[in-house]
Amino acid sequence: MQSLSSLKDDFLQYIEIEKGRSALTVRNYEHYLTRFLDFIKVESPTDITESMMREYRVYLNRHPARAIKKGQAQETLDKKTQNYHLIALRAFLKYMRRQGVKSYDPERIELAKTQQRELDLISEKELENLMAAPDVTTIAGLRDKAILELFFSTGLRVSELCSLDRDTDLKTGEISVRGKGGKIRVVFVSGAAAISVKKYLEQRVDIDEAMFIDHSPRAHARMVKEESIRLTPRSVERIVEKYAVIAGIAKKCTPHVIRHSFATDLLYNGADLRTVQMMLGHASIATTQIYTNVTNKFLRDQFEKFHSKRVKN
């Protein structure tokens, strides 16, 4: 019988090759499973017991979230992170079952209950101020305006936006992007976003293939060496944060917040949940359902504003 360590290696190769998981996902699964195997200290799949599982759950619940300095309060892993460990473990056990290896029943692993996730959202006025914040008399400002417009038009993840190339055809009003798990989906580009991207690209004199590049002085040296100066996700996050400050938005504002605004705007205007799921590239509609709480509140507010007063009369 194969050892658990050997089976773990086989499983990681399986999710990378057969399932097409990203390098980051594979790395995370390896981290979670290695932590589990180091804890139980057995090599035979049949030696995993109920008591081991219970002790491991307690271990995760008490595990420090990060290293702390002297005098600081100790934070432990939140429920969401604990569940990431359990999801990876459950997938590993299911894989062994499909391979005919007897081990602990994956169906016995229940995820920890988590609090309802609250969405970070900005108002319609704040969104307008954000879009108007870049100085479009500069090439960096034109780039940033295009980035913001494209985010709200498409609901792209920041990594998906950064991977776009300048030869992407926007004339059709739609583009194909490769999202999580290598899955392809179509997103739609508004007229305003297409115009902003066109204006930006018309001012470009470089030959970098990336749609969005670094225009800071330090990027010139890299350009001379013919290195790509494509913007990184962290760089784009900083750009959004910068314009949130300029726009006077005090709350958290990131590319993902604009993605939230994209989704809620669709729902407010009548799109169904399944359509929003497809546009966001969510593998499960359960992920998309978080937006229903927001839209339900919106509908309640509309009822109170336009209908309930009439009913009282």
pLDDT band at 304 (very low <50, low <70, confident <90, very high): low
* pLDDT over 90 percentage in the chain: 61
CB atoms within 10 A of CB 297: 10
**Residue 25 neighbours by CB under 8 Å, 6+ apart:** 15, 181
Say how far apart CA 78 and CA 259 lie, in whole Å: 24
Is domain 124-304 annotated with CATH 2.40.170.20?
no
pLDDT in tens, 273-299: 899 899 999 888 888 887 877 666 655
- Residue with the bigger pLDDT between 219 and 195: it is 195
Would you state the pLDDT for residue 65? 81
CB atoms within 10 A of CB 133: 20
| 224 pLDDT higher than 90 | no
pLDDT in tens, 60-118: 999 988 755 555 556 888 888 999 999 999 999 999 999 999 999 999 999 887 665 66
Instruction: Determine if the pTM surpasses 0.75.
Output: no
Say how far apart CA 23 and CA 182 lie, in whole Å: 11
Would you state the pLDDT for residue 228? 78
As annotated, the residues of the chain forming the CATH 1.10.443.10 domain(s) are 124-304
CB atoms within 10 A of CB 230: 17
Would you state the pLDDT for residue 88? 95
Say how far apart CA 64 and CA 267 lie, in whole Å: 39
- The stretch 148-157 carries a mean pLDDT of 95
Yes or no: say if 261 and 156 are a contact pair by the CB < 8 Å rule.
no
As annotated, the residues of the chain forming the CATH 1.10.150.130 domain(s) are 4-108
The CATH-assigned architecture of domain 4-108 is Orthogonal Bundle (1.10)
Q: Side-chain half-sphere of 251: how many Cα atoms within 13 Å? A: 9
Average pLDDT of every residue of the chain:
88
| 13 pLDDT higher than 90 | yes
Active site residues: 157, 180, 256, 259, 282, 291
pLDDT in tens, 34-76: 999 999 999 999 999 999 999 999 999 999 887 555 555 568 8
| 270 pLDDT higher than 50 | yes
**Residue 9 neighbours by CB under 8 Å, 6+ apart:** none
pLDDT band at 252 (very low <50, low <70, confident <90, very high): confident
Would you state the pLDDT for residue 305? 61
